[in-house]
Chain A
Amino acid sequence: MKLIINIIVIYLCMGLIAHAQIKLQNPSLDGGNGLNNVPQYWNICVETPDVLPVSGYFIQPPYHGVSYIGLGVWNSLLVVPSNRLFESVGIFLSCSLIQGEEHFFNIYLTQLKKNSVTNGDSIQLKIWGGELAIQPSYYGVAL
């Protein structure tokens, strides 16, 4: 019986822990509920992302924890050339990605309803890799 248990333990270990992992800080995106804000460890990249839910705006509960990040798409005459503002946030990794290697992770997404009303337009999430440097082109034109 002991031998069987040992074999089971070996196979469990080999199956579960054979790969590398990179942990994010505050992956549940908790804390700092409010408009134009980000949770701890996260950075505002473009425009005014929000930490939700916020009463009177977005009241949809989080999938996990106490809050989540809301990213909007806006029209603005102030922005050229595309008239589009795409809100974005960013986070530094305590361990870097590995060039040329396959990576994957899971994220929970939803289209948000403002005051219980869905805007009804399509929205997508884009994810970029980069370094510390700030881009010279602001307001999301490069996005």
Chain B
Amino acid sequence: MGGGACDTAQLLWCSPVIKNTTWQRYRVNFIPNQNYQFLTFGSFNASAIPSDTFHSNIAYLGLDSISDIILPHYKIVKATITQDTATHCFQLSSTAVYGGLNFQWSSIPSGFTSSAQNPGLVCPVVNTSYIVSFTTPCGSIVYDTVFADMHTGINDVKGKGNKLEVYPNPVSNVLICKCANMLINTIEITDVLGRVCSNPPLQRCMCSQDTNWRETL
């Protein structure tokens, strides 16, 4: 708490005349011309004031229950997704107005998480939404979402009927899985010895180097 007039560099909003004597909600809209860090709330009376009354009260205004300030068209955090043409996977990255704070990525369907600002390459097996959350300096959490569409931007997708397509073979690092005309909830991949290399159910098809594979549904 302190005393003294506060900085009132820009008048942001003026209410209509408040005549209601019960609480009513008012929406405050404004566009600041600076990155202000201080808000002043002041009473105002534009009507003529009798000059013969010494220090008499004219009117009183009650303020209560202020909501969060919303910026409806502004993103503090922005997620970006680009397709990696070499691997048919996707590069995930993000930018934020404020630096050095917490990023947390997740996915729908679930299975992918990362706390990196730029997680890098992801290889979803189905259409997947990637959601990045970001904790701002004032403690609020904001989000942005990008979508990995498995059916666009990939030139060699062909109809296979009820067929699962997995490549390359042999695989050295990232294994790409595709399917057509069917919904697959889980995929299990085993090597020639029957050893499972993709259990629990795949979110990314990753097998170790020199591993052969066969598909099982």
* Of B54, B70, B76, the contact of A104 (CB 8 Å cutoff): B70
* Of A19, A21, A58, A127, the contact of B28 (CB 8 Å cutoff): A127
Asked whether B34 lies within 8 Å of A99 as measured between CB atoms, the reply is yes
Q: Pick out which of these stretches binds chain A: B137-145, B152-160, B199-207.
A: B137-145
Asked whether B64 lies within 8 Å of A88 as measured between CB atoms, the reply is no
Residues of B within 8 A of A75 (CB): 49-51, 53-56, 58
Asked whether A13 lies within 8 Å of B65 as measured between CB atoms, the reply is no
Asked whether A91 lies within 8 Å of B56 as measured between CB atoms, the reply is no
Asked whether B63 lies within 8 Å of A125 as measured between CB atoms, the reply is yes
Asked whether A105 lies within 8 Å of B66 as measured between CB atoms, the reply is yes
Q: Is B162 an interface residue (CB 8 A)?
A: no
Asked whether B73 lies within 8 Å of A19 as measured between CB atoms, the reply is yes
Residues of A within 8 A of B64 (CB): 28-29, 62-65, 68-69, 107-109
Residues of B within 8 A of A113 (CB): 21
B1-47: which residues lie under 8 A (CB-CB) from chain A? 1-47
Q: How far is the CA of A91 from the CA of B141 in the complex (A)?
A: 21
Q: How far is the CA of A12 from the CA of B58 in the complex (A)?
A: 47
* Of B6, B11, B30, B53, the contact of A43 (CB 8 Å cutoff): B6
Asked whether A109 lies within 8 Å of B60 as measured between CB atoms, the reply is no
Asked whether B47 lies within 8 Å of A122 as measured between CB atoms, the reply is yes
Q: Is A55 an interface residue (CB 8 A)?
A: no
Known: A90-B41, A119-B60. A129 touches B12 (CB 8 A): yes
Q: How far is the CB of A96 from chain B (nearest CB, A)?
A: 4
Q: Is B57 an interface residue (CB 8 A)?
A: yes
Residue tally, chain B, CB below 8 Å to A: 90
Asked whether B39 lies within 8 Å of A125 as measured between CB atoms, the reply is no
Asked whether A94 lies within 8 Å of B66 as measured between CB atoms, the reply is no
Asked whether B55 lies within 8 Å of A22 as measured between CB atoms, the reply is no
Q: How far is the CB of B99 from chain A (nearest CB, A)?
A: 14
Asked whether A97 lies within 8 Å of B7 as measured between CB atoms, the reply is no
Known: A95-B137, A124-B14, A135-B5. A72 touches B60 (CB 8 A): yes
Residues of A within 8 A of B20 (CB): 109-111
Residues of A within 8 A of B5 (CB): 45-46, 88, 134-135, 137-140, 142-143
Residues of B within 8 A of A10 (CB): 108, 129, 145
Interface 1/0s, chain B 167-193, versus A by CB < 8 A? 000000000000000010100000000
A-B contact pairs, 19 of them (CB 8 A): A14-B145, A19-B142, A21-B68, A23-B140, A28-B64, A28-B66, A58-B62, A65-B65, A68-B64, A74-B55, A93-B37, A93-B69, A99-B35, A103-B31, A104-B72, A105-B68, A106-B67, A108-B24, A111-B59
Which of B's residues lie within 8 Å of A, judged by CB?
Answer: 1-47, 49-51, 53-76, 108-109, 129, 131, 136-145, 183, 185
- Name the 3 nearest CB pairs between A and B, nearest first: A130-B7, A88-B42, A129-B36
Known contacts A14-B145, A23-B138, A99-B35, then 9 further A-B pairs from the complex at CB < 8 Å, ordered by chain A residue: A3-B183, A21-B140, A104-B28, A110-B23, A124-B15, A127-B13, A128-B42, A129-B38, A131-B9
Which of A's residues lie within 8 Å of B, judged by CB?
Answer: 2-3, 6, 9-10, 13-14, 17-24, 27-29, 37-38, 42-46, 52, 58, 60, 62-65, 68-78, 83-84, 86-114, 118-135, 137-140, 142-143
